[in-house]
Structure 1
Amino acid sequence: MREFVFALEYEPGTNPVADVLAEYQGTSIRSLSCHVTSDSLWRVDRAEGPEAALEALEKAYKTGEFFADCLVKDDCGADCDVQVLDRSSDERVVYTYWDRTDVCTSVPHVALERLGDGLLFETYREGRRYRWRIVLGDGRPVHDFFDALAEEVDECTGMEMLRLTELGPDGSSLDGDSDASLPSEQRDALYAAVEYGYYETPRRIELGDLSDRLGVPRSTLSYRLRRAEAALATAFVSAEDSLESLATNGVR
């Protein structure tokens, strides 16, 4: 089995959900399930963030111009059903379903057509960035799929291939990541910051230039790096405390 991870980046005004996520930093949407057939798509997502952001997301989901994951910018004529399954002050669980028309297409539909069935989809949205993770069998034509997807994505949406890795028996990546506990967006930001010299003294690149190079808003990149740094620092201190405890107890 392999995992293929890539990201879409929406320009302002091209996707109402992305516009809300960009306005409310720290708000995110993670898929709980995502299923596709040749003529339909349905999914359940969990959105997390402040109440104002969640209310704005609800409205965005229910606008006539938005069909979850449909890549057609104009009215595609699809019938879409949106229901809020769970609502709290800091969380929404949203179900969406739509029947495909002759002009509709989506990432899962292109994947189904190019990669075959038996695919597992996982998504994460933050800011204008929309990360997709597809788990698929060996030998599937991943690059053909990515090229076909590029033909469906218009000029308002950027695309970035993040990684293609083998999966171990337990479903973990076999790429040797020592920071696998970090969300993908934070790992990607951290890797880029190190690669381009953001952490060197003196810095070879400033945060604004790095955000331009990655095509990520400066505030979003700053947020991801802070979260990654905090997680790594906490893990480091916890490890140090464990070692100190072992030494105190006379364990060598």
Structure 2
Amino acid sequence: MREFVFALEFEPETNPVADLLAQYPETKLRSLSCHVTAETLWRVDHVTGSEEALNAVVDAVTTADYYADCLVRRDCEGEWETRTLDRSAETLILYSYWNRTQSCTSIPHLALEHFGDGLIFETTWRGRRYQWRLILPGDVTLSEFHGALDAEIADTGGVDIVRVRGTGADELGMSDPDSETVLSPEQDQALRAAVERGYYETPRAIETYDLAESLGVPGSTLSYRLRRAEAKLAVAHVENRPLSSLNDVTQ
């Protein structure tokens, strides 16, 4: 088997989902499953973020002029629908089905045309960077696929090759690139500000909305960043990981 990982970098105003995720940098859209035939594409995605961001995601994917995975922007008339399967305050499960036309194409369709059946897809989308991981037969060549993909996305962004390597059976597990315990810059900033301004004192020296206003972010966004940072710290403590594996929030 062979692993091919690459990322699309969308320019502003070329993809509605990329534009939205750029506004909410902590929001992540990760595939749970993705299936393709010559005429159709259907997938299930797991979205995490603040409640405000999730509301915006639902609105964007249900009102866009074209399906977000379609690489063609020239009068695409494919029929598609996106539905919410499950929803909580911080997570969203989306189901999408797309019936393409002859003028439409997508990464899974390009892969099907160049490599045939039996492919495995994994995606992670944050901001304007949409990363794909493909598991392919070991004897395929990638140059024609890469050229076709580069030509399709030329007007909207670029393609960044992350890695190409042979993959043993014990390495086929799908990984979450954001599963590390290291805090994101936004989480680190929120946690430092909370500690410095007495948010964790008893009683609190500052409330969430005041702290959020001082940082210039919505209150829901600050609450989400603090919860994610606290969760990572808790996991590190319970699993007895050294706190040096996290950002040093005491500096």
Structure 1 length as normaliser, TM-score? 0.69
1:216 alignment counterpart: none
Please tell me the root mean square deviation across aligned C-alpha atoms, in Å. Answer: 2.7
C-alpha distance in 2 between matches for 1:240 and 1:17: 37
Amino acid at match of 1:77: E
Give the alignment of 1:1-252 within 5 angstroms. 1-172=1-172, 183=177, 238=240
Deviates most, 124-133 or 137-146: 137-146
The sequence identity of aligned pairs, in percent, is 47
Q: CA deviation at 1:147?
A: 1.1
Runs of 4+ with deviation above 4 angstroms: 237-241
Distance 1:130 1:185, change over 3 A: farther
Contact 1:68 1:96 in 2 (8 A): no
Q: CA deviation at 1:117?
A: 1.0
Distance 1:181 1:47, change over 3 A: closer
Distance 1:172 1:39, change over 3 A: closer
C-alpha distance in 1 between matches for 2:177 and 2:67: 26
Distance 1:240 1:102, change over 3 A: closer
C-alpha distance in 2 between matches for 1:10 and 1:142: 22
Contact 1:54 1:91 in 2 (8 A): yes
Contact 1:70 1:105 in 2 (8 A): yes
C-alpha distance in 1 between matches for 2:178 and 2:52: 26
SS of 2:170 mapped into structure 1: coil
Distance 1:106 1:53, change over 3 A: same
C-alpha distance in 1 between matches for 2:165 and 2:103: 33
Q: Give a deviation string over 1:43-83, Cα, whole Å, max 9, x none.
A: 11011000110010011101241303100113311111111
Structure 2 length as normaliser, TM-score? 0.69
Distance 1:8 1:41, change over 3 A: same
C-alpha distance in 1 between matches for 2:175 and 2:42: 28
Q: CA deviation at 1:143?
A: 2.0
C-alpha distance in 1 between matches for 2:15 and 2:123: 16
Q: Which runs of 5+ in 2 are unaligned?
A: 181-224, 244-251
Distance 1:182 1:13, change over 3 A: same
Q: CA deviation at 1:239?
A: 5.8
SS of 2:9 mapped into structure 1: strand
Contact 2:17 2:68 in 1 (8 A): no
Q: Give a deviation string over 1:5-48, Cα, whole Å, max 9, x none.
A: 00001111111111111101210000000011001111110110
Distance 1:240 1:23, change over 3 A: closer
Contact 2:16 2:64 in 1 (8 A): no
Q: Which runs of 5+ in 1 are unaligned?
A: 174-179, 187-222, 242-252
